[in-house]
Copies of this chain bind each other. A is one copy, B any other.
Amino acid sequence: MTEPFRTTRRIEFADTDMAGIVHFANFFRFMEAAEVEFLRSRGLTVAMVWEGQRIGLPRVSASCDFISPATFQDVLDVAVRVQSIGKKSITYSFEFSKEGKPVAKGQVTSVCCKVAGDHHLESMEIPAGFRAKLEA
């Protein structure tokens, strides 16, 4: 995937903290929302029934570097790239920028899981058809 998937995010008042900037933990929510938008563009999502099996894609690792602050009402550009697809996991990278200037760069790894009964999660191979849509 050479060209990233692109979306935007408008900063809300509740995203800010007393330092007057977006609270750093919110970038992880923003990454997840961008991941979901990317998946939606491929007809996928993070919690769905796939070929009769409930699957989920919980995050097993996440990181972010905060380069310059974002503030209330900024509209951030978000670029999502699939960095790698393993047997069971997907690693995404995210770049947030404002008018071309970098704001934050992050990475998230999600693992494909069967969801059984009451919230029980067990990792599984990414189904072939799901993978095909990711790689399309």
Contacts and interface: CB of A to CB of B under 8 A. Distances in A.
A47 B13 contact: yes
Nearest to A28: B25
A88 interface: no
A63 B66 contact: no
A45 B28 CA distance: 24
Interface residues of A, number: 40
B66 A64 contact: no
A18 B21 CA distance: 7
A56 B65 CA distance: 18
Interface in A38-81: 40, 45-47, 56, 58-66, 69, 71-73
A25 to B, nearest CB: 4
Contacts of A73: 36, 40, 45
A63 B63 contact: yes
B66 A59 contact: yes
Given A59-B66, A66-B60, A121-B69, A14 B25 contact: yes
A65 B58 contact: no
B69 A61 contact: no
